Structure 1
């Protein structure tokens, strides 16, 4: 993930859920490849793990406090192909997904509008146009869309009266003025070789067993984002090995406000990671349908993903014991992660290179 001039965010959890849902309707080599990619020995194991994970992070397993999580999955299939009842039942019960037959052959544009309106409603307007006009046409037979929106409040809000415009250094060497949130509270901060990490727990994370937090990885060098992201890519346990555990007294402290909405078509990236079968004419999704000729070419034509996140003064951190004073001035590009600590699930991963930019589609 090389840093560019655009902010970036995606949800590993949401993409995994979308792929797992797709696997439910697959068989043969396609199923085997998807299970291997998702690291599950059988489809039953995959569904069981998905139910537990999605229920855990969304609070459906008895949790009552913590951030609001809006998780949306959907499958739209050409109406001439009848969905199997078993597939629809698993989609609804395990993945919380709608599985719907639509007239893609004659009403592709209307279907696109319908899906976008549904996603907008389910995410309170944060995700407006996931499906671009050219993504669906009369040749489309199967469409999968997923979205994850997250809104968490810090235990004690930043004082908005303390927010000040200050310099943020861009990757091209120039600077812009952006609003920085400030706090005199102790913070969870650790310093490592080449970067610092700040952990900001979310309100309610310790009132039930779920524990959500945002991690901000700030390189020491103002142009150190690419070097830092390389470390993420090369070490699958990088995040777990760099989580602050003790609060420290802060010196100079500031976090820029930012809001990101980022959408992309994920199939090309997944093919590059070795998952090819679902997106080619060799795909086998006959466990999804109760009709259709065995030789009919049915494959995932689009897997569209969008994530949205907003960070403002409505959140901060309550801390206790104190270590030596440490600065954390996030005045240049940084990486952020939102995770649930008990399960170790990364809900969001991204970077901020320009806090004033909000939306981006690729």
Structure 2
């Protein structure tokens, strides 16, 4: 049996018509919530995931799947069961998510194919026309050079933020294809935080565990929402006054309220109706790097066939010839006074078989205890994660 490796990073999506895009957007939120629940249940630490990266590369994979393999992938990804609708939404959305004068967003897809190994023309055409992916032959038997070639490409696409996505020992004689999708985002705040106001402040990791962290301050008009249902407060931070992209910080009203909030992550990721308020903000600076095992996540979401008795005959050969062996995502985010820088890459291996009073303000948003966040571009959840210990 042979191996196909699919490497992904954070990329973008598409829309054929408004109804199709709305369904895709709601599916994206549901998929992001599914991922968040699983990752948060396994650790109490900081983490960052890029649902959109996994969604995009796996959408490309499912385009070469057949039968139950395809159905399971589409269901787990909350995609339509219609190939036409999926392709239309990605074909229109990917180009529309690219950055401009307001923010920077670079996304790229690539397929590395073992020298002498054939993948089907229809799959290559879909990859190029819908997912804007190029194809390159590579000698996987030369593990060190092959891994370097792939990782160098990922580093270039993510401005050197994602490293060693593909370990050389992950490449075997059964590796025949690697699909990569990479995303890099950078945006400057519409209302930057003044660096001289950043000071060490208390952050309550728990009732008995208080640490000092660099805390940024500003007072300006921000999107603001108080949810009695979720017992939490939402703060929307914009980038260069762009209406396309936003970062939302969701702060439990209680210092120990993060777990209860995470239990309702589906509602959290559904953007509330923000109103513009004069808000005094205190927000820790933070940097997060994560590695996420998406194979386990997909298995828990009901994907079984793709990892064993798979039918990827739309990519190459016949049913049962290749299967997914591993899926790994790496992510990075840095939040500081100037704005946000974030990147992601995912690999899928297919094998053959108080200062508040001083600052004033109409409202106060003091993130001095664990919180969660997400970044949306055109209502698509691109990144989501949590901060339990800023660093």
* TM-score class normalised by the smaller sequence: 0.7 to 0.9
Q: Who is 1:20 aligned against? A: 59
In structure 2, do the counterparts of structure 1 residues 118 and 172 end up closer, same or farther at CA, with 3 Å as the change threshold? farther
Q: 1:84 to 1:230 in 2, by over 3 A?
A: same
1:56-67 alignment runs, 5 A limit = 56-59=96-99, 64-67=100-103
> Do 1:148 and 1:307's aligned partners in 2 also have CA atoms closer than 8 Å?
no
Distance 2:268 2:209 in 1: 30
Kept in 2, the 8 Å contact 1:78–1:141? The answer is: yes
Tell me the residue number matched to 1:152. Answer: 187
Unpaired runs of 5+ in structure 1? Answer: 317-323, 357-362
Q: How far has the Cα of 1:331 moved from its partner? A: 1.1
Number of matched pairs: 330
Say whether 1:98 aligns with 2:101. no
Within 5 Å, give how 1:1-362 maps onto structure 2: 1=37, 2=40, 4-37=43-76, 38-59=78-99, 64-104=100-140, 106-171=141-206, 173-193=208-228, 194-206=231-243, 211-232=244-265, 235=266, 237-240=267-270, 242-251=271-280, 253-280=281-308, 282-289=309-316, 292=317, 294=318, 297-315=321-339, 325-340=362-377, 343-356=378-391
Q: Distance in 1 between matches of 2:221 and 2:154?
A: 39
TM norm structure 1: 0.83
Could you report, residue by residue, the CA deviation over 1:250-291 in whole angstroms, capped at 9, with x for unpaired residues?
Answer: 34x2111112222223111111101222222x11222212xx
Alignment CA distance shift 1:129-1:6 (3 Å): farther
Q: Tell me by how many angstroms 1:10 deviates.
A: 1.0
Whether contact under 8 Å (2:191, 2:220) holds in the other structure is no
Distance 1:247 1:257 in 2: 23
Give the Cα separation in 1 of the matches to 2:205 and 2:297: 27
Alpha-carbon distance in structure 1 between the residues aligned to 2:279 and 2:251 = 15
Whole-angstrom distance in 1 between the partners of 2:236 and 2:113: 42
Task: Give the whole-Å Cα distance in 2 for the aligned partners of 1:140 and 1:149.
Answer: 27
Give the number of the structure whose residues are more often strand, by fraction.
2
**Partner Cα distance (1:145, 1:133) in 2:** 16
Across the aligned residues of Structure 1 and Structure 2, the Cα RMSD in angstroms comes to: 2.4
Q: Provide runs of 4+ in structure 1 moved above 4 Å.
A: none
Question: Is the Cα contact below 8 Å between 1:147 and 1:307 reproduced in 2?
Answer: no
How far 1:204 sits from its partner (Å)?
Answer: 4.6
TM-score, normalisation: structure 2: 0.77
CA distance in structure 1 between the partners assigned to 2:211 and 2:88 by the alignment: 48
**Is the contact made by 2:220 and 2:279 (CA closer than 8 Å) also made in structure 1?**
yes
Distance 1:27 1:87 in 2: 12
Q: CA deviation at 1:125?
A: 0.4
Q: 1:5 and 1:132, CA in 2 relative to 1: closer, same or farther beyond 3 A?
A: farther
Q: Which consecutive unaligned segments of at least 5 residues does structure 2 have?
A: 1-36, 341-360
- Tell me how far 1:238 sits from its aligned partner: 3.8
- Partner of residue 359, structure 1: none
Contact 1:160 1:313 in 2 (8 A): yes
Residues 151-187 of structure 1 show CA distances to partners (whole Å, capped at 9, x for unaligned) of 1111232111111111112247312221111112132
Q: Is the 8 A contact 1:69 1:149 kept in 2?
A: yes
